[in-house]
């Protein structure tokens, strides 16, 4: 029997609530935002966890073997076993989608959420009809990546897993503080989707902060400062 792939994670001990960072698609816990948030947590004595999904970064496994459902399992495992007490989820891009799903699965643990260019349901709106047909017919799709010299690979299994977990077809039953930080020059996630997401979340303490000159990365110093401010706000709510 094959041993399950293990997840790599880093814990910063400190005062709660525990802040858990969820990376984007094909990203990892060594990105600018994750490390900046960890540095802030260490400087302020805050509890923080960053981790890699299976098949990504330092975690075991092959990237193409895993799906959105698998990475949701990874996020829930980190919440259950690596984080202590109440949890604030900070999700970047796909990580924002996973944060919404995880908050729905762990309402007794997750007390607030911050989405950085969150991309729920991107298997629906992020692919052309030709892309979807290629995925169905060929089982995988390769596209040039603006963030890496390696192409971005999407598998049919991942796409199908995402389609089965779409959220934006109606009210999202979350009643917790939420901050969404979204660039208006984001070439990957249209800013209008962030506004629509804010509308669909059931709770009232939901704010969408638009950065007019912000791109998808939102990794400049002012963007990082805005992310930290959002975490501070929802942590104190």
> Is 44 tagged catalytic?
no
Catalytic residue among 27, 59, 93, 235: 93
Catalytic residue among 52, 121, 186, 223: 186
- Hey, which bits of 93-137 come out as E strands? 110-116
Q: Is the Cβ–Cβ distance between 102 and 112 less than 8 Å? A: no
* Strands 9-12 and 206-211, bridge-based pairing: unpaired
Q: Is the Cβ–Cβ distance between 176 and 112 less than 8 Å? A: yes
* Strands 110-116 and 87-92, bridge-based pairing: parallel
Q: Is the Cβ–Cβ distance between 74 and 53 less than 8 Å? A: yes
> Is 28 tagged catalytic?
no
> Is 93 tagged catalytic?
yes
Q: Is 111 exposed, middle or buried (0-12, 13-18, 19+ CB in 10 A)?
A: buried
Catalytic residue among 52, 92, 216, 223: 216
Active site residues: 93, 186, 216
């Amino acid at each position: 029997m094959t041993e399950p792939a293990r997840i790599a994670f880093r814990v910063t001990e400190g005062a709660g609530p525990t802040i858990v960072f969820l990376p984007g698609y094909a990203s990892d816990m060594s990105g600018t935002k994750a490390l900046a948030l960890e540095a802030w947590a260490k400087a302020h004595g805050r509890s923080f966890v960053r981790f890699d999904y299976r098949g990504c970064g330092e975690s075991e496994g092959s990237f193409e073997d895993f799906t959105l459902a698998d990475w949701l399992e990874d996020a829930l495992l980190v919440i259950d076993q690596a984080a202590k007490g109440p949890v604030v989820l900070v999700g970047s891009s796909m990580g924002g989608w996973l944060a919404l799903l995880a908050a729905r699965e762990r309402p007794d643990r997750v007390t607030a959420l911050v989405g950085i260019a969150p991309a729920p349901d991107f298997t629906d709106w992020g692919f052309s009809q030709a892309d979807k047909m290629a995925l169905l017919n060929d089982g995988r799709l390769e596209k040039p990546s603006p963030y890496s010299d390696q192409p971005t690979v999407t598998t049919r299994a991942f796409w199908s897993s995402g389609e089965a977990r779409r959220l934006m077809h109606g009210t999202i039953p979350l009643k917790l503080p939420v901050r969404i930080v979204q660039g208006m020059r984001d070439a990957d996630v249209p800013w209008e989707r962030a506004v629509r997401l804010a509308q669909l979340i059931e709770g009232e303490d939901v704010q969408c902060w638009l950065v007019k000159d912000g791109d998808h990365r939102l990794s400049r110093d002012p963007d990082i400062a805005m992310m930290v401010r959002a975490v501070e706000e929802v942590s104190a709510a």
